[in-house]
């Protein structure tokens, strides 16, 4: 190899190293109080919206046993996260390519087993997840409704949490319960609210303000609003057709509002966002799991 060629390769390698080391792979965890509020549809279409904006997103389905995201995508993943752990597969083996450059990892039906993993298995899981540092801009976890021990750890360790609710009184009350429980464990969490299935933006703002006000009044916590999604029959239609509405009905109101949320998300950082990326996430979650 010629000297200048070797030098160029070295420079290229250095450049690549700095690029991958500097890129923060943000970890976002999506939750809701009540089930059926549209959390998976939001997570999926939000992830796709970010992908369309050039973000590399890895979407991880942690809704135990529900396999929601693969059904919404009409996909049938060959492997899942727990299989990676048990069979010592790599993270790349269990990642499936979805539309628009989105990557999906299915949690399988046994994410709750994470609590029973041996220390070696836990370390293996986290070492594989840490490989996503520099590869992805964003790791998005879709978790089950409510707060299981596992999902709570995921929320507490994430850089930020997105909480989805609808205007239904029960969904709002349950959303507030989630805020309260998480806030009692860490007062500095960044929680942003999305109100789904609103009649119009005024309706969305009224719902969001009510939750914001009780959160401020009773917990002294500032709740940020990320946006609203209208009640839209194209969402229902897309679920039936197993193709995300952002792709299937790009001109629908729901798609338009998701794009607004994506735009806000990319331009406005959450106030308490941890911003320590996948490395910080793994440090925090390891600590919580082994506690």
Ligand X SMILES: Nc1ncnc2c1ncn2[C@@H]1O[C@H](COP(=O)(O)OP(=O)(O)O)[C@@H](O)[C@H]1O
Whichever of 245 and 281 has its CB closer to ligand X, that residue is 245
Count of residues in contact with ligand X, rule CB under 6 A: 18
**Residues 182 to 201 in contact with ligand X, rule: CB under 6 A:** 196-197
Q: Does 239 bind ligand X (CB under 6 A)?
A: yes
Rounded Cα distance between 257 and 264, Å, is 11
Q: Tell me the window of 32-40, 171-179, 186-194, 208-216 that interacts with ligand X (CB under 6 A).
A: 32-40
Q: Does 36 bind ligand X (CB under 6 A)?
A: yes
Whichever of 29 and 40 has its CB closer to Mg ion, that residue is 40
User: If we measure between CA atoms, which residue out of 55, 58, 57, 77 comes closest to residue 67?
Assistant: 77
27 within 8 A of 147, measured Cβ to Cβ: no
Min CB(36)–ligand X separation in Å: 4
Rounded Cα distance between 236 and 33, Å, is 21
Task: Give the containing element (helix H, strand E) for 46.
Answer: helix 39-52
The b/e string for 250-259 (b: 16+ C-beta within 10 A; e otherwise) is eebbbbebbb
Min CB(72)–Mg ion separation in Å: 9
User: If we measure between CA atoms, which residue out of 268, 263, 267, 275 comes closest to residue 22?
Assistant: 275
Q: Does 32 bind ligand X (CB under 6 A)?
A: yes
Q: Which residues have a Cβ under 8 Å from the Cβ of 87 and sit 6 or more positions away?
A: none
Whichever of 46 and 128 has its CB closer to Mg ion, that residue is 46
**Residues 38 to 97 in contact with Mg ion, rule: CB under 5 A:** 39-40, 63, 68
Q: Which of 226, 246, 254, 262 lies at the binding interface for ligand X (CB under 6 A)?
A: 254
Rounded Cα distance between 153 and 190, Å, is 14
223 within 8 A of 215, measured Cβ to Cβ: yes
Q: Which of 27, 28, 29, 39 lies at the binding interface for ligand X (CB under 6 A)?
A: 39
Of ligand X, Mg ion, none, which one sits near residue 197, judging by CB under 5 to 8 A according to partner kind? ligand X
Whichever of 199 and 213 has its CB closer to ligand X, that residue is 199
Binding residues (CB under 6 A) for ligand X: these are: 32, 35-41, 68, 196-197, 229, 231-232, 235-236, 239, 254
């Amino acid at each position: 190899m010629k000297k200048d060629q070797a030098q160029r390769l070295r420079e290229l390698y250095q450049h690549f190293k700095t690029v991958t080391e500097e890129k923060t792979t943000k970890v976002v965890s999506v939750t809701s109080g009540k089930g059926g509020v549209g959390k998976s549809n939001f997570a999926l279409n939000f992830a796709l919206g970010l992908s369309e904006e050039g973000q590399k997103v890895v979407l991880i389905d942690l809704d135990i046993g529900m396999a929601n995201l693969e059904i919404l995508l009409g996909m049938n993943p060959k492997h899942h996260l727990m299989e990676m752990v048990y069979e010592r597969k790599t993270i790349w083996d269990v990642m499936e390519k979805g539309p628009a450059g989105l990557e999906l990892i299915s949690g399988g039906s046994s994410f709750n087993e994470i609590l029973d993993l041996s220390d070696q298995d836990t370390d293996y899981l986290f070492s594989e997840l840490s490989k996503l540092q520099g590869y992805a801009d964003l790791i998005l976890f879709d978790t089950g409704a409510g707060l299981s021990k596992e999902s709570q750890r995921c929320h507490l360790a994430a850089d930020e949490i997105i909480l989805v609710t609808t205007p239904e009184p029960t969904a709002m009350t349950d959303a507030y319960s989630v805020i309260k429980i998480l806030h009692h464990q860490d007062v500095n969490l960044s929680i942003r609210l999305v109100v789904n299935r609103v009649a119009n933006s005024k309706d969305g703002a009224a719902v969001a303000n009510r939750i914001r006000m009780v959160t401020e009044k009773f917990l002294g916590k500032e709740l940020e609003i990320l946006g609203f999604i209208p009640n839209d029959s194209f969402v229902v239609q897309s679920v039936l057709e197993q193709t995300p509405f952002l792709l299937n009905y790009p001109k629908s109101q729901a798609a338009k509002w998701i794009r607004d949320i994506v735009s806000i998300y990319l331009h406005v950082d959450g106030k308490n966002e941890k911003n320590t990326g996948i490395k910080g996430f793994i440090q925090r979650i390891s600590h919580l799991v082994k506690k």
